[in-house]
Structure 1
Amino acid sequence: MFSHVMVGSNDIARSKIFYDALFTAMGGEPGVADAKGRVIYAHRGGRFLIGKPIDGKSATGANGGTIGFTMESPEEAKAWHDAGVANGGTTLEDPPGERSGASGPIYLAYLRDPDGNKLCAVHRITG
C-alpha cells in the first residue's frame, strides 16, 4: 500500500548522521543525497527520505512529511486525487502528472487531507 515515507529536517547533515546510524544498525546502507538535497534510504523494499520542506518553512512534525501510496496505474492515481479533492482534500504542488524521478519516470499526485497531512499517489512507470 505505501510507497515511501518522507520527513522534514531543518539540518540535513545532522539528520543524515542520525539516520545513517539507524539504517546501519538494522543492516541497511547509509542514505544517498539526490540533486535536490534530499537523503534517500532504500531498505527491505521500502524508501525513507529526509529533506527540507518544499514550502521553505521550518520542518515540524508534519511540515515536510509525506505519506506515499503505491498506485497500479496513472489512471488510478488520478482517480485517487479526484476522490480526495471531492471529499475535502486540497490539491497541492504541481497538478497530477508524469515527472522524472531518480529511478525513472513516475506519475505523481499530491493532496493535503482535511487535517493538513501531505499525501502522495505514486505510480512508477516501467517498460
Structure 2
Amino acid sequence: MFSHIMLGANDIDASKKFYDATLGALGAKEGRIDPYGRVIYLHGGGLLIVTKPIDGAGACAANGGTIGFAAASPEEADAWHAAGVAAGGTAIEDAPGIRDGGAMGKLYLAYLRDPAGNKLCALHRVPA
C-alpha cells in the first residue's frame, strides 16, 4: 500500500544518529545521505526518508500520527527502544510490553519520539 515514508527533521545529523541506531537494531543498514541532504534507509522492502522540509519552515511532528516499525521479536523491539533512547530519542507512553490489541490480538509495543518529535512505535505481533 505504501511506497515510502518521509519524515521532517530540523537536525539531520541528530536524526541520522537516531535512525542509524534504531533501524540498525531491526537489522537495517546505516542510512545514506543523498545529494539533496536527505537520509535514506531501505530495509525489508520499506523506504524511509528523513529530510529538512523543502519549504524552509521548521519540521514538526504530526499530532495523532505514529510511524510503526515491525520487530521480529519482543527482544528486537526492546533493542530498538534502548538504541533510540541512547541515540537521543525520548521514551514515551508505557514501558515496552504486551498490550491487548483487541481484534489484532496481543501486541508487544515500544514507543519513542525521535529528535524532531515524531512519534514512533516498534511492534511485534504475539502469536496466538
The TM-score with structure 1 as length reference comes to 0.52
Residue deviations 1:8-27 (CA, integer Å, cap 9, x gap): xxxxxxxxxxxxxxxxxxxx
Residue deviations 1:26-70 (CA, integer Å, cap 9, x gap): xxxxxxxxxxxxxxxxxxxxxxxxxxxxxxxxxx96111000001
Larger relative contact order, structure 1 or 2 (CA cutoff 8 Å, min sep 6) = 2
1:116 aligns with 2:123: no
Equivalent residue, structure 2, for 1:97:
97
1:87 aligns with 2:82: no
Equivalent residue, structure 1, for 2:108:
107
Q: Which amino acid aligns with 1:64?
A: G
Aligned partners of 2:94 and 2:64: how far apart in 1? Answer: 16
Aligned partners of 2:127 and 2:71: how far apart in 1? Answer: 13
Q: Which amino acid aligns with 2:69?
A: F
Secondary structure of the residue aligned to 1:72 is coil
Matches within 5 A, 1:1-127: 62-102=62-102, 103-127=104-128
CA RMSD in angstroms comes to 2.0
Residue ranges of structure 1 left out of the alignment (5+ in a row): 6-59
Residue ranges of structure 2 left out of the alignment (5+ in a row): 6-59
Structure 1 segments of 4+ aligned residues over 2 angstroms from their partners: none
Aligned partners of 1:113 and 1:100: how far apart in 2? Answer: 25
Aligned partners of 1:78 and 1:85: how far apart in 2? Answer: 11
Secondary structure of the residue aligned to 1:126 is coil
Aligned partners of 1:79 and 1:91: how far apart in 2? Answer: 13
Secondary structure of the residue aligned to 1:62 is coil
Secondary structure of the residue aligned to 1:85 is helix
Residues 61 and 74 from structure 1, CA distance in 2 versus in 1: closer, same or farther, beyond 3 angstroms? closer
Q: Which amino acid aligns with 2:65?
A: G
Q: Which amino acid aligns with 1:114?
A: P
Secondary structure of the residue aligned to 1:81 is helix
Identity of aligned residues (%): 67
Aligned partners of 2:85 and 2:91: how far apart in 1? Answer: 7
Aligned partners of 2:92 and 2:115: how far apart in 1? Answer: 13
Number of matched pairs: 70
